[in-house]
């Protein structure tokens, strides 16, 4: 019996060792990392600076933001990958000898690429050396124009063309104006109106309608052929809700720059555009009324009525004499003025005014505590540029911090005051966009480790993690949706009732739709009726993110409507 037991135990040990060996073998890396390479997870030790030197070089090229801290993390790996793509190296994310050698001699970074994109008309403003979405989009557009794969990465082939080609946008615009697809004057800068005109030209000539002047489009447009079709003159229709085209797009662009439009610039006249047109007309009307009040028309001197001779009393037996006389008119009440109600049509005169770009953008300085129409204009423009989430006409702390971020991004003194120099740049086409909306905090829900990470706004980014909350996330069959959301804020009072599940939770804060942050659940709106924290750290909710009562209350009290919530794996 003992021998049989020992044999059975030996067999189990052999099977276990085989399984461990299989597991270990499968965990080995598929490719060896050469000696001297730098890779994710490495960190400089005492007296070492290899990783920090690598990061400094990547930062100088604009491929990495932040400080060189000597820790090779995900951001550094992404920057190395991007550099390898740019310089035609093996895309491993590992800084091997070949990558380090290329990095030591690299002269072309993001700032130099931005300069060339501006030179060829695919970007505007001033190079900031930061590889953002606008730069990647401009690179991808250039690649499409020259028949390259639109990756948004300035690889060797892209850079060779970028640094050798001249500005084609001016000649493209000139030809489009000649063919009536584009109005205005050629300026050599690819803007929304030019893209719309290219799209319409492509549609008219049976080309792939992308809005990008690719090789086939340029060959037809600039080739000097006689088979080009002039854009038909459309039947005149009011530029009002429902209309679309390059005129609408130009109007949207101006109204956006001047702080009247909250919606998108897409050439389609919708409700947001109608609101902006009416707001602009009201603004101009109020300015005109203020001018009339300051410069009243002189009142004419009153005309003195002649004194009438008294009428003689007739002698008995005589007929009375009739004397013509003008009677004083009976005064009638002054009618109340009809309130000004602007229509939503973009008239010819308004369109011409928008094209001329003569609007005086600065009227008065506004700062924290101010209210009114100038505050609304500043807020709308900050919203358009991705700095401020909502517009309420009150200049508060969020507006001040958003404006400071704008000033930082655009090289101005960070005063938080919208003075003349700030507004002149803010209400222009040269204003640089922000990376994300400014709030006191950003919340990151990590599904994999069941944690909510709280990051504080530092003035340039959400770079300071100040707290970590253990949470319960959605079960596999009812997962918490992934993505980036602008939260809707508190979902009611202290207690929130879940009708479908007949239970309650405290301090519900809406992420999106029916997905909430909230406390652990209760059978009744009473703290003594449940509230078990057993579920925290697990994936077993119906999609919401459960927290302790104190953590849920912190979010409820400190995170305003619109706060950015990122749900990631």
b (16+ CB within 10 A) / e for 419-429: beebbebbbbe
Q: Which of 354, 346, 344 is nearest to 193 (CA)?
A: 354
Sheet holding 503-506, edge to edge: 495-498, 503-506, 521-522
Tokens representing 27 are 């965990």
Do the Cβ atoms of 405 and 420 come closer than 8 Å? no
Do the Cβ atoms of 464 and 456 come closer than 8 Å? yes
b (16+ CB within 10 A) / e for 83-92: bbbbbebeeb
* Residue 544 designated active-site: yes
Do the Cβ atoms of 121 and 169 come closer than 8 Å? yes
- In this structure, the number of other CB atoms found within 10 A of the CB of residue 489 comes to 15
Do the Cβ atoms of 381 and 426 come closer than 8 Å? yes
- The Cα–Cα gap between 260 and 376 comes to 8
Do the Cβ atoms of 276 and 260 come closer than 8 Å? yes
Residues 6+ apart with CB under 8 A from 465: 453, 454, 455, 456
Beta bridge partners of 361: none
SS3 of 325-338: CCCCCCCCCCCCCC
Helix (H) or strand (E) holding 425: helix 420-426
- The Cα–Cα gap between 350 and 282 comes to 13
Q: What is the SS3 assignment for 405?
A: helix
Q: Which of 566, 253, 564 is nearest to 389 (CA)?
A: 564
* Residue 518 designated active-site: yes
Do the Cβ atoms of 80 and 129 come closer than 8 Å? no
- Spot the catalytic one: 205, 518, 542, 559: 518
Q: Which of 490, 549, 553, 491 is nearest to 519 (CA)?
A: 549
Do the Cβ atoms of 566 and 536 come closer than 8 Å? no
Do the Cβ atoms of 520 and 531 come closer than 8 Å? yes
- The Cα–Cα gap between 504 and 500 comes to 11
Instruction: Say which residue the tokens 């930061």 belong to.
Output: 130
Residues 6+ apart with CB under 8 A from 479: 447, 473, 539, 543
Do the Cβ atoms of 406 and 434 come closer than 8 Å? yes
- Spot the catalytic one: 383, 471, 472, 544: 544
Residue positions counted in the chain:
569
Q: Which residues carry out catalysis?
A: 518, 544
């Amino acid at each position: 019996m003992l021998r049989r037991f020992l044999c059975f135990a030996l067999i189990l040990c052999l099977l276990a060792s085989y399984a461990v060996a299989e597991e270990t073998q499968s965990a080995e890396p598929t490719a060896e990392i050469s000696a001297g390479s730098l890779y994710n997870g490495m960190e400089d030790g005492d007296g070492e600076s290899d990783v920090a030197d690598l990061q400094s070089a990547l930062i100088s090229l604009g491929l990495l933001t932040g400080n060189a801290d000597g820790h090779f993390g995900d951001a550094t790996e992404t920057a190395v990958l991007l550099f390898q793509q740019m310089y035609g190296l093996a895309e491993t994310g590992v800084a091997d000898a070949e990558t380090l050698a290329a990095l030591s001699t690299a002269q072309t970074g993001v700032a130099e690429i931005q300069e060339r994109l501006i030179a060829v008309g695919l970007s505007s403003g001033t190079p900031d050396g930061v590889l953002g979405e606008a730069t990647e989009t401009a690179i991808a557009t250039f690649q499409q124009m020259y028949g390259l794969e639109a990756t948004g990465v300035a690889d060797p082939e892209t850079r060779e063309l970028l640094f050798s080609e001249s500005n084609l946008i001016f000649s493209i615009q000139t030809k489009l104006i000649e063919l009536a697809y584009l109005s205005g004057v050629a300026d050599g800068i690819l803007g929304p109106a030019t893209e719309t005109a290219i799209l319409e030209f492509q549609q008219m000539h049976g080309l792939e309608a992308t809005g990008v002047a690719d090789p086939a489009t340029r060959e037809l447009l600039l080739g000097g052929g006689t088979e080009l079709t002039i854009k038909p003159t459309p039947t005149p229709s009011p530029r009002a809700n429902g209309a679309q085209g390059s005129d609408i797009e130009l109007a949207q662009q101006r109204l956006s720059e001047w702080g009247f439009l909250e919606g998108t610039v897409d050439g389609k006249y919708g409700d947001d555009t109608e609101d902006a047109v009416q707001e602009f007309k009201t603004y101009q009307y109020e300015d005109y009324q203020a001018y009339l009040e300051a410069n009243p028309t002189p009142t004419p001197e009153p005309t003195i009525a002649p004194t009438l001779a008294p009428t003689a009393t007739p002698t008995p037996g005589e007929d009375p004499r009739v004397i013509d006389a003008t009677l004083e008119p009976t005064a009638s009440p002054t009618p109340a003025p009809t309130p000004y109600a602007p229509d939503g049509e973009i008239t010819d005169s308004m369109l011409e005014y928008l094209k001329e770009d003569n609007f005086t953008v600065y009227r008065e300085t506004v700062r924290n505590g101010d209210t009114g129409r100038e505050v609304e204009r500043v807020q709308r423009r900050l919203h358009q540029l991705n700095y401020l989430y909502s517009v309420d006409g009150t200049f508060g702390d969020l507006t001040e911090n958003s404006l400071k971020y704008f000033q930082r991004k655009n090289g101005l003194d960070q005063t938080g005051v919208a003075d003349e120099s700030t507004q002149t740049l803010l209400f222009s086409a040269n204003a640089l966009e922000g990376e994300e909306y400014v709030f006191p905090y950003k919340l990151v829900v990590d599904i994999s480790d069941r944690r909510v990470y709280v990051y504080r706004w530092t003035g340039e980014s959400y770079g300071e993690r100040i707290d970590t909350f253990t949470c319960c996330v959605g079960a596999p069959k009812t997962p918490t949706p992934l993505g980036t959301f602008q939260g809707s804020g508190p979902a009611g009072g202290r207690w929130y009732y879940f009708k479908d599940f007949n239970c309650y939770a405290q301090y519900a804060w809406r992420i999106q739709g029916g997905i909430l942050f909230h406390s652990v659940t209760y059978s009744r709106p009473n703290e003594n009726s449940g509230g078990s924290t057993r579920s925290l750290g697990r994936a077993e909710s119906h999609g919401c993110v459960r927290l302790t009562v104190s953590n849920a209350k912190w979010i409820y009290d400190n995170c305003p409507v619109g706060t950015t919530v990122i749900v990631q794996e």
